[in-house]
Amino acid sequence: MKNNYLEKYRQDNLRKAQMKMLYILKEVVAVCDRHKIPYWLDGGTLLGAARHGGFIPWDDDVDISMRKEDLERFLKIAPSELPEDLMVQTLETDEGLHNRAYKVRDLNSFFVDGDDDNRAPYQKGMFVDIFPFVNYPSRFHRLTKRLTRSLAVMNFRLHAPHYYSLRSVGELIYFGWKRSLYLLIWQFLQLWCKKGDYMCSYPYYNWYGTIYRTADLFPLGEIDFEGCTFKAPGHPDEYLQSIYGEWRKLPPPEKRVVHSLFFVPNLIEPKELLPKSKSADK
């Protein structure tokens, strides 16, 4: 049953939520710029920048990507430089987190989507997703796409909340064995195939088996997003074509929906400006 009150709340507050995510993005980028850590807008955020000049009107998340080694630098630096109302969320920093995800979360907000486990004690504020990019094999693309799609699904299934039963135990054994096999094949391809011509996020995050040409990504360019300039793939048209196909074409009206279940942009309404970055006075 559709709840019209909830739907109206989401529509009335979506722009506030987008502005909160823009705030998080700006703080993340400020850390990256200070320390020369390359990043770029990705996924729906890049699509919104290229097609709408900002957020897709019905979008409720922000995606950026970094090379894996650059993300590791960011994870070391950011916790001491982000404002106090933001946190770097990983398996190591937030107890109860099920999946290996990399996010910068806002603590003065609340956000729930279909994948969240409300019983788990991890932070659930609004966030920016950060995806680690690695080199992909230059050959066997069909096999690589199948491997990455399957690894993403299996990793999600294995870390999702389980109600223990014979079926769930069987699934854990089956998917655990299958994931180990697929990881072995992936590592074999990484070891023996030429790399450098293609990149994408680590297989656990590559739901669509997408493979990008490195030449479409680097050297990075710039793109306008909500009146600000951010880093973007050097050839955004080709990059977006790899993800969405005819990306300039709007989806049908029934697909233009907010995906989150519920959000509160501000738990406590700020009476003053948002806190300065910890490094602002350094």
pLDDT at site 213: 93
Residue 143 tokens, joined:
């096999």
β-strand pairing of 221-225 with 212-213:
unpaired
Task: Round the CA-based radius of gyration of the chain to a whole number and report it.
Answer: 19
pLDDT at site 33: 98
pLDDT at site 104: 98
Instruction: Name the DSSP letter for residue 47.
Output: H
pLDDT at site 168: 66
Q: What is the dihedral of CA 206, 212, 214, 215, to 10 degrees?
A: -160
Compute CA distances 214 → 54, 136, 230, 241, whole Å: 25, 10, 19, 14
215 φ, ψ to 5°?
-65, -25
In this predicted model, what pLDDT tens digit does every residue of 198-248 receive, in sequence order?
A: 999 988 888 888 899 999 999 999 999 999 999 999 999 999 998 899 999
* Residue pointed to by tokens 């009107």: 57
Beta strands in 125-204 (DSSP E): 127-137, 195-201
Cα atoms in the 13 Å half-sphere on the side-chain side of 34: 17
pLDDT at site 160: 65
Residue ranges, the chain, pLDDT below 50: 273, 279-282
pLDDT at site 161: 63
Please spell the DSSP secondary structure of 219-277, one letter per residue: S-EEEEETTEEEEE-SSHHHHHHHHHSSTTSPPPGGG-----SEEES-SS--SSPPPPP
Report yes or no on whether pTM surpasses 0.85. Answer: yes
pLDDT at site 274: 52
